[in-house]
Amino acid sequence: MTAAVRVAVLRWCGVRGNCPRRELSPFRLCIFWVEASDGMKVTEFLSPNAVVAELHGTTKAEVLRELSEHLASAYGGALRADRVLEVLGEREKLASTGIGDGVAIPHGKMPGLDRLYAAFGVSHAGVDFASIDKRPTHLFFALVAPENSAGIHLKALARVSRLFRNPDLRAAILGASTDPDIYRLISEEDGRA
């Protein structure tokens, strides 16, 4: 049986009146609830080669650059690091993707992609990512999706968010020391959840 997950999605409402919450003025971020199937698995779009046991960046910009580089190198030239960095950076300008509990999910859409691509990295020291709970962020799941893939993009965000709500998984990842160990932990939880 497939369960549904409610996910808060921030959308920029423009002046053309496309905001369903018309009482809000234009140019505000609005929260929408989206029902997303949890039938999707993170391991469908996260490669073992795209896991980094220790990120070295100490700022948001440095972590985004490092994740972008790992995304580009892990997928054999399907992505350009500079373009991924630009997309992730533009999304961060709207609002931080730090969702709290030490987790951030920087994400964005890119033209020309044929599928979802993801990278995962750990910062044991923690980074100020302007997280919603104002605490340091340790776990970073970067995701880029094809430009016209709103449904799949939202399902992927919902799946990642659901997976990393588990405090035992977060603690286990922080205790792991190698890329394969971290991927195994994610994969095992992905199979259970």
Give the residue numbers annotated as catalytic, written as ranges: 107
Residue pair 175/53 in contact by the 8 Å Cβ criterion:
no
The whole-number pLDDT of residue 190 equals: 93
Ordered per-residue pLDDT tens for the chain, 193 residues: 333 434 444 433 333 333 333 333 333 333 333 344 447 899 999 999 999 999 999 999 999 999 999 999 999 878 999 999 999 999 999 999 999 999 999 999 999 899 999 999 999 999 999 999 999 999 999 999 999 888 889 999 999 999 999 999 999 999 999 999 999 999 999 998 6
Instruction: Note the pTM of the prediction, 2 decimals.
Output: 0.81
The whole-number pLDDT of residue 39 equals: 75
All residues at 6 or more sequence positions from 4 whose CB lies less than 8 Å from its CB, including other chains: 35, 36, 37, 38
The whole-number pLDDT of residue 18 equals: 38
Residue 193 vs residues 65, 140, 162: alpha-carbon distances, Å: 30, 19, 8
Domains, the chain, in order of start with CATH, read 39-192 (3.40.930.10)
Angle subtended by helix axes 81-94 and 60-74, to nearest 10: 140
What sign results for the dihedral spanned by CA atoms 134, 136, 139, 141? positive
Q: What is the pLDDT of residues 88-138, one digit of tens each?
A: 999 999 999 999 999 999 999 999 899 999 999 999 999 999 999 999 999
Find, among 134, 133, 125, the residue nearest to 174 by Cα: 125
Q: CB-side exposure of 169: number of CA atoms within 13 Å?
A: 22
